[in-house]
Every structure is written in C-alpha cells, then in structure tokens.
Amino acid sequence: MKLHIMAWRNIQRNTRRTALSVSAIAVAAMAIVLLFSLLAGLSNELKSNLQTFYFGELRIRHAQYEKHANLNPLHLSVESASRLIAELESSPALEQASARIQFPAAVYEEGNNIGVSAMGLDFSKDLMEPGTYLIEGRLPRPGEQEVLLGSSAAGSLNKGVGDSFTALSTTLRRASNAMTFEVVGVASFPLADVNSRIYLPVDTVQRFLKTGDRAVDVVMEAAGEYSLEDARTAAAAILESYPQKEDLLLETWNRIPSSYIFIRMAQMVYYIAGAVFYVLASTVIINTIMMIIFERTREIGTLASMGMSGKDIVRMFFLESFFISTIGSVAGAAVGAGFTLILENTGIDLTSAMEGVDFEISGVVYPHLTAVNILIAVVTGIIVASGISLIPSRRASGIKPVEAMKSI
C-alpha cells in the first residue's frame, strides 16, 4: 500500500485524536490571521492619521522651521502662500493644496490662564475635513472671528457653541496681540492631540498674527491616478520658479523625520508582537504533534516488526502531519479571515486600552485582511507541524521493535 494512502487512512482511524490535532492547529492559524490583520489595520490607521492630521501626503515648509519650532518662528514660513497654492492646484498631479498655521495661544478665563494649541486652516478643502467630525454647531466662516473647538479643548475651556473667549498670542514681529472669538462648533476628532486643539479660519489667523499672506505649512495630496513620486516631481517643478525656493523644503509624508520615527516605532512594536505570537502559535502546534507521535510508539514498533523501514515510518508520520496541518491551517485561516472581514466593518474599540497612550492611533481600529496574512498562517501551520513531526518520528523509528511494542 502506498504511504500517502496509509497516512490518510490513519488520520481517519482515530477521529478524536485527529480532531484534537486539527483543532489545535486551526486555532493557531486563526489567531495568526487575526493578529496580523490587526497589526495591518494599526499600520494603515497610523499612516492615514499622519497624512490627514499632521503632514498631508506632501508638505512644504521653511527649511529652518522645525529646528526652531518650539519658539513659534512665524517669520520662518511660506511667503505668498495663496499664490503657491493656486499654482500647485493647477497641476493635474496635485489636489487639495491648503495652508496651515500652527501656533500657541493663551486664554484668560475666570482668573486662570489656559494654554491652548491652535491651528488656522482652510475649512473648505483641508485634508482634515473637519466637518466630518462635527458634533455640534457648524464650521467657522472665512474671515470671521469664529472658532471650532475639539471636544477636549471645549472641556478644558468650559466653552460651547455660542460662547466666546479672548485669546492672546505672539505675532510675526514678536509682539503680543489679542482677539475675541465666538465658538460656532465642536468636533470630536479621533486623536487626543488633535482633539485638544482649537481651529480657526486661516485668513483670520493671518490677521490675528499679522503674518500677511504666509503659512507655516502648505499640505497637499497626490491626485487620482498619480503616484506620490509623480506628485512630488510636479510640486518640485513648481517650486523651481518660486522666489523663495532656496528657503523651502518639500517632503513626502514618509520622509519627514518625525513621521519616519512614528513609523519605525510602530513597525518595531508590530514586528515584536507578531514574532512573539508566531512563536506561541508554533509551540502549540509542536506540542500537539509531538504528543501524538510519542503516544504511538507502540504502533511504530508494530510497523517495524512487520518489515516497514525506519525511513518509511518517518515518511508516513510526516504525511500524516502534513495532511492534518493542511486541514487545520486552511480551516483556521478561513475562520480567521471570516472574523476579520466582519471586524473590518465593525472595528475593534481600543479606546480604554489606548487611554493615556500618546500615539497616533484612533480609538477604533479596523483590521485589514490581506492574502499575505492568510498565506503566512497556512504556511506556518503546515511547515511547523510537518517539520516538527520528523523529530519524534525519527527518534521513535530508531527504537527496536520489541522495546517499542512494550511502550505504553
């Protein structure tokens, strides 16, 4: 009888043992699919948040701004920002170019001086799309002394729609200036840092800080079918004819130093978590297969006494493990993929787990299923289970038939 037929019949002979083996491998494969899909979702979430709330896909800013950012150096900014934005938007490779101005401010309220982080932006086309997160009121209108509060900022200032407050900040020329704003909206953003800011029309901020037609950042994204590199090339060509070109720095989001640090940190955490779980899942598979083969030492002795060679015994157990691991891995990966597809729509609420953690991840994470994740789970189960079967089966096949048959 051919070995593969004998191996297939053996796994059907003891259904309880086979079911145990298949179940253990299936659980490990399912868990690997779920974990790696969760890690992929976290990675996508980090990428999306960095692009949306911080850097855009491409960013133009003064080359020296980052070095002195803690001093609020408004003089190190992009001049003639509206002209530059118009030229950028005229390129078919670029879209949603808009100005941003970040600055610190102080609000004096009921005897307390409350520091706030503020941002001026173009509410009509900024990549943040703040209207998406609006929970009360409306967005500020261009040129008006109106403000949108992140819900955390609203709590800190104890302000709501219809209230007003006076903010104090430092102008371009390092003088102090104050302006009173009316709260017209409250938004709940997914990131704690973003949710603690106040948001104003960029032209109002330019008037408040006396910057003229300047912006700290000009952010944009690649249009439609154009790649990030195509968009960068187009933006660089426009900057070549720009009077301030020697002072400005054009960067893609994944090459910005602070963004790169975030990505590297996240990747390190994800890889470590994945590696640890990979080892744990492999341990479950290894223990199951070794237990089954050692339990069958007596059977190995019987086969040897009937004339089966040690090599054939090893091959037979290898084929059994291969069949069992294939069934378990495929079944587990399929179940894991099914759960992941559900979670891709519903998400996993990590709000309580992420509380107090300063990382650019939203409270609700959506796992992302990929063919690679499924393949990793299936291949892991098959290779580990089949490969590990060689160790105990080779050891058992070397035992003399009489000794093996005495084994309990």
**For residue 129, what pLDDT is reported?**
94
Residues 6+ apart with CB under 8 A from 134: 148, 185, 186, 187
Q: Is 150 exposed, middle or buried (0-12, 13-18, 19+ CB in 10 A)?
A: buried
Q: What is the pTM of this model?
A: 0.76
pLDDT of residue 399: 65
> What pLDDT does residue 403 have?
63
pLDDT tens per residue, range 51-65: 899 989 999 999 999
Cβ(202)–Cβ(151) under 8 Å?
no
Q: How far apart are CA 86 and CA 130, in angstroms?
A: 22
pLDDT attached to residue 207: 97
Nearest by Cα to 198 from 147, 133, 158, 139: 147
- Whole-angstrom distance, CA of residue 251 vs CA of residue 52: 15
| pLDDT value at residue 18 | 78
pLDDT value at position 74? 95
Q: DSSP assignment, residue 389?
A: T
Amino acid at site 289: I
Give the closest residue to 396 by CA, choosing from 288, 285, 301: 301
Task: Give strand pairing partners of 94.
Answer: 222
β-strands 58-62, 214-215 pairing: unpaired
Among residues 212, 218, 204, 284, the alpha carbon closest in space to that of 249 is found at 218
Residue ranges in the chain modelled with pLDDT below 70: 1, 257-260, 262-263, 266-267, 270-271, 274-275, 277-279, 281-282, 284-286, 288-289, 292-294, 296-297, 351-363, 395-408
Phi, psi of 342 (to 5 degrees): -70, -45
Q: Domain boundaries in the chain?
A: 3-51+261-406, 81-242
CB 81 within 8 A of CB 214: yes
Tell me the three state secondary structure of residue 405.
helix
Q: Which residues pair with 179 in a beta bridge?
A: 167
- Output the CA angle 160-176-76, nearest 5 degrees: 100
Return the pLDDT at 16: 79
